[in-house]
């Protein structure tokens, strides 16, 4: 049975023909390439005489410059040490807790939970530039900047989560008692918080699918 590999996300499909699209990242059928078994590929290579290859042109030294060198180094470290999966635990872990605190503060007029939610969301906002930057680098380097439906959905969810977070914090700064004062506004505040939570959860779910979608349990 043949094996087909998605060149975007690395998904391996077994079958005589590749699927119409990758079930993990939704890349088109044309992206999937047949996997040639290593033993079969090595056999003709062993009998073939090595062809003389032209000498590679010398690369001019120091042409890249310091900014490009630092960017390349940072990109390598982000990919090697899996910094994006580490960073996304900040919104994925703290946002659900903060939303629960917001509901407790609103339903039971509990100012301490309101303050705890505020500090939690501020911490998430501080971490978001690193979350988004490392995610962008992983998308460009590992997934070649593919814009299939799953990546569009993940990018959209990330934008909604970030914008909702910023609006909530600005709202809270302009109206500190929005949750502890009975009003219609606090329910809209909570609805926006739920939208933010849903967007964070969706982005995390898609990220997990991209990373673990190729595994069989």
pLDDT of residue 44: 52
Is 150 within a domain?
Answer: yes
Q: Are 35 and 90 in a shared domain? A: no
Is 55 within a domain?
Answer: no
Q: Which two tokens stand for residue 64?
A: 């890249």
Model confidence at 192: pLDDT above 60: yes
Is 20 within a domain?
Answer: yes
Contacts of 101 by beta carbon, 8 Å cutoff, 6+ apart: 113, 114, 116, 117, 120
pLDDT of residue 156: 97
Is 75 within a domain?
Answer: no
Q: Which two tokens stand for residue 6?
A: 């998605």
Is 99 within a domain?
Answer: yes
CATH number at residue 24: 2.20.28.10
Q: Are 123 and 181 in a shared domain? A: yes
pLDDT of residue 53: 47
For 20, the domain range is: 3-40
Q: Are 21 and 101 in a shared domain? A: no
Q: Are 92 and 199 in a shared domain? A: yes
Q: Which two tokens stand for residue 21?
A: 């699209």
Q: Are 120 and 15 in a shared domain? A: no
Q: Are 11 and 116 in a shared domain? A: no
Is 143 within a domain?
Answer: yes
Find the DSSP H helices in the chain.
Answer: 38-47, 66-80, 83-87, 89-108, 111-142, 149-174, 184-212
Q: Are 93 and 200 in a shared domain? A: yes
pLDDT of residue 38: 61
Is 188 within a domain?
Answer: yes
Average pLDDT, the chain: 86
Q: Are 110 and 186 in a shared domain? A: yes
Q: Are 87 and 161 in a shared domain? A: yes
Is 137 within a domain?
Answer: yes
Q: Are 31 and 88 in a shared domain? A: no
Q: How far apart are CA 208 and CA 38, in angstroms?
A: 29
Give the pLDDT confidence of 138-169 residue by residue, as tens digits: 999 988 898 989 999 999 999 999 999 999 99
Q: How many domains does the chain have?
A: 2
Q: How far apart are CA 50 and CA 146, in angstroms?
A: 36
Give the pLDDT confidence of 12-65 residue by residue, as tens digits: 888 888 888 888 787 787 878 888 876 444 455 445 555 444 544 444 544 568
Q: How far apart are CA 13 and CA 19, in angstroms?
A: 8
Do the Cβ atoms of 113 and 98 come closer than 8 Å?
A: no
Q: How far apart are CA 169 and CA 118, in angstroms?
A: 8
Q: Are 98 and 25 in a shared domain? A: no
Q: Are 107 and 158 in a shared domain? A: yes
- For tokens 């590929």, the residue is 41
Kind of pairing, strands 3-6 and 32-34?
antiparallel
3-state secondary structure of 4: strand
Partners of residue 14 on adjacent β-strands: 3
């Amino acid at each position: 049975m043949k094996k087909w590999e998605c060149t975007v996300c690395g998904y391996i499909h077994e079958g005589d023909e590749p699927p119409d699209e990758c079930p993990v990242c939704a890349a088109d059928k044309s992206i999937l390439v047949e996997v040639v078994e290593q033993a079969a590929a090595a056999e003709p290579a062993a009998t073939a005489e090595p062809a003389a290859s032209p000498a590679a042109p010398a690369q001019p030294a120091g042409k890249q410059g310091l900014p490009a060198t630092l960017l390349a180094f940072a990109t390598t470290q982000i990919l090697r040490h899996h910094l994006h999966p580490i960073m996304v635990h900040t919104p994925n872990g703290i946002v659900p807790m903060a939303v629960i605190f917001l509901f407790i503060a609103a339903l039971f007029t509990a100012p301490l939970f309101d303050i705890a939610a505020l500090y939690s969301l501020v911490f998430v906002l501080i971490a978001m530039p690193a979350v988004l930057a490392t995610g962008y680098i992983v998308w460009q380097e590992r997934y070649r900047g593919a814009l299939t439906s799953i990546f569009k959905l993940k990018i959209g969810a990330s934008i909604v989560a970030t914008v909702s977070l910023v609006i909530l914090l600005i709202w809270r700064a302009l109206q500190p008692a929005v949750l502890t004062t009975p009003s219609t506004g606090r329910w809209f505040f909570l609805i926006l918080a739920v939208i933010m939570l849903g967007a964070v959860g969706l982005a995390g779910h898609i990220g997990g699918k991209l990373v673990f979608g190729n595994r069989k349990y």
